[in-house]
Amino acid sequence: MDSNDIFIGLMSGTSLDGVDAALVDFSSGLPQCIATAYLPYPDDLKADILALSVPGDNEIARLAHLSQRLAREYAQTVRTVLSGSGCPAQRVRAIGCHGQTLRHEPAQGYTLQANHPSLLAELTGLTVIADFRSRDLAAGGQGAPLVPAFHEAIFRTPDRHRIILNIGGIANLTNLSPGHPTGGFDCGPGNMLLDAWITHCLGRGYDEAGQWGATGQVLPDLLTRLSRHIFFNTPPPKSCGREQFNLAWLQSLLCGSEAPEDVQATLLALTVFGIGHAIDQECNSRPPDELFVCGGGVHNHTLMEALAHRLPTTHVTTTDTLGLPADWVEAVAFAWLARQTLRGQSGNLPAVTGARGPRVLGTISLANSGIHRQA
């Protein structure tokens, strides 16, 4: 292993389930996962994050406390991924840390990820690269999605039309079509509404394997109302979050007589609708040859089956078949983005985000000994 090309990527997404960490070696050119780790969020931490996703009292102090706590959670995840990996911390060039998105309003010129990279650098003794979205946003972009640049570098092939689909809280895709520039954008809700509804109805954090949703029936009228959301027909570049798709919005469209499991089945159908509609409208006017899925949605078997049914001529599988496990793609992507930053190379795709041009992303919090190291 080349000690100058080992990075840690940390990702905590809109699903709010916890922190993913990937220890990645780039010395061969392609990312090789040395070790991975996952640290679930405690219920009270998840509640604090959700509370700050909407306006409330004493937000500045609450955000400050949350950012400190997240830094400690991130540091624990770093210690866990290094433990037993055979890689000493001194060989890690930097941590790429996305932070926890609280608000995402690119139309208003801002995005906010709770994070404390300086504290994380102090706790780990490692250089930390964070705040990846802000520079793209400052250049007129959406600030998201950022992973299509990584997908392009790792997964593009000259002879197959591939789509890389991440299903986290939000679903987003990267269109890798031979002879066409890479495209990418958010499709709409992924697991977010599914998780919110089962939590509201049954007190569970998620619908394991999609079993509860599989007991319900899709409600066509409700699906029609949900699919009329303006986001679905907004052309790229576009990104979304809880501002657009949340429990209150869902409840405003319910009649009140729906069986809860039927609502769950309909929300799953909405996720599939958003993905299928995006592919039909924006992915070169024909079904892709291959659809590789990553993110937590791969564990919802009902959802995966519905996607395969929606795209009958497309080979639907997971990124595991490409050598990168589906649960760790985004964490690896942020290790790659951190590497891009230290190399002085762009991490965004202007055609994806709408930025005025390529930009080097992220801010750097040097390790304690960083002032003595060669950049």
Q: Tell me: the pLDDT tens digits for 72-90?
A: 999 999 999 999 898 999 9
Query: Are 8 and 33 in contact, with CB atoms under 8 Å apart?
Result: no
CA 371 to chain centre: 32
Whether 133 and 191 share a structural domain = no
326: nearest Cα among 164, 140, 154, 163: 164
Average pLDDT over the chain, rounded to whole? 95
Q: How many domains does the chain have?
A: 2
Whether 189 and 332 share a structural domain = no
pLDDT for residue 14 is more than 90: no
CB burial of residue 18 (10 Å; 0-12, 13-18, 19+):
middle
Lowest mean pLDDT among 82-86, 177-181, 369-373: 369-373
Count of positions (residues) in the chain: 375
Confidence band, pLDDT 50/70/90 cuts, at residue 369: low
3-state secondary structure of 244: coil
Whether 16 and 105 share a structural domain = yes
Whether 304 and 208 share a structural domain = yes
Range 214-229 average pLDDT: 98
Whether 17 and 72 share a structural domain = yes
Predicted TM-score of the model (pTM): 0.94
Q: Tell me: the pLDDT tens digits for 242-264?
A: 999 999 999 999 999 999 999 99
pLDDT for residue 315 is more than 90: yes
Whether 267 and 287 share a structural domain = yes
pLDDT for residue 2 is more than 60: no
Q: Which domain holds residue 130?
A: 3-143+328-372
User: Residue 318 and residue 219: Cα distance in Å, rounded?
Assistant: 29
Whether 30 and 67 share a structural domain = yes
Confidence band, pLDDT 50/70/90 cuts, at residue 375: very low
pLDDT higher at 194 or 372:
194
Q: First-to-last CA distance in the chain?
A: 19
Whether 46 and 155 share a structural domain = no
Whether 68 and 42 share a structural domain = yes
Confidence band, pLDDT 50/70/90 cuts, at residue 95: very high
Select from 310, 326, 342 the last residue of a domain.
Answer: 326
CATH classification of the domain holding 287: 3.30.420.40
Percent over 90 (pLDDT), the chain: 94
What was the pLDDT predicted at 372? 40
What was the pLDDT predicted at 285? 72
Whether 240 and 293 share a structural domain = yes
CA angle 180, 236, 242 (to 5 degrees): 135
Range 128-149 average pLDDT: 97
What was the pLDDT predicted at 1? 44
Whether 113 and 164 share a structural domain = no
Give the contacts of 241 (CB within 8 A, at least 6 positions apart).
14, 101, 103, 104, 169, 170
Whether 249 and 101 share a structural domain = no
Number of helical H runs and strand E runs in the chain: 13, 13
